[in-house]
Every structure is written in C-alpha cells, then in structure tokens.
Amino acid sequence: MAELQARLQALSEEYTKLQLELQNSVQARQKLEAQRQENLGVEQEFKNLKDGERIYKLVGSVLLEQDRAEAESTVKGRLEFITKEIERHEATLNEIQEKLDKKKAEIIQAQSAA
C-alpha cells in the first residue's frame, strides 16, 4: 500500500510539473501573439503612409529617421520570426497536453488499482 501511495505521489508531482510547464508555454505564446498584433499594426500603418512621409524609430529616448524600405523589411522579418515561434509554441503546447493526458490516465489507473 505504501508503494502505491508513493507511486501516486510521484505521478501527481509529475502532473503538477507538466501543468506548470503548460502554463509557462501558454504565457509565452500569448506574449508572442501580442508582439505579432503590434507588428501587424505597424505593417498596416506603413500601408497608410503616403509617398514622401517619414518614418521614425524610437531608439532609447531618441527618435531616429529610418528608411521606409528598411523599416518595412525589419517588420516583415519580425513577423516571419514571430509566426515561426508561435508555430513552435503550438507544437510544444500540443506535446505537453499529450503528456498531461497520458499522466492523467496513469494516475487514474493507479488509483483504480488501489
């Protein structure tokens, strides 16, 4: 009986650890989504600019003029990177969820063996 109790305790701790991992991954995914939305907004602002209008970039506490093509390229590159990171986090989330489901099944099986 003590052995079963120890196994249940270990499984429960592993399950809790996986839940924390899932929570951290969800938070990272949400942060990436916020960055993606911000960059999509910047991209939309670029489309609304008229020819000859200037673009400035905030560097520290100073606004520096930036070339339009360079700014658009930078935002496009950021969006590509963020999108790939979101996809990577989605895969990680799915992986962790599968592990959680398996661990839950193990816990149920161990409890019903008691």
Domains, the chain, ranges and CATH? 2-113 (1.10.287.370)
Burial bucket for residue 39 (CB in 10 Å: 0-12, 13-18, 19+): buried
Convert the pLDDT of each residue in 53-106 to its tens digit.
999 999 999 999 999 999 999 999 999 999 999 999 999 999 999 999 999 999
pTM of the full predicted structure?
0.82
Tell me: the pLDDT tens digits for 26-49? 999 999 999 999 999 999 999 999
For residues 4 and 25, the model is more confident at 25
Whole-angstrom distance, CA of residue 80 vs CA of residue 82: 6
Length of the chain: 114
- State the pLDDT at residue 114: 65
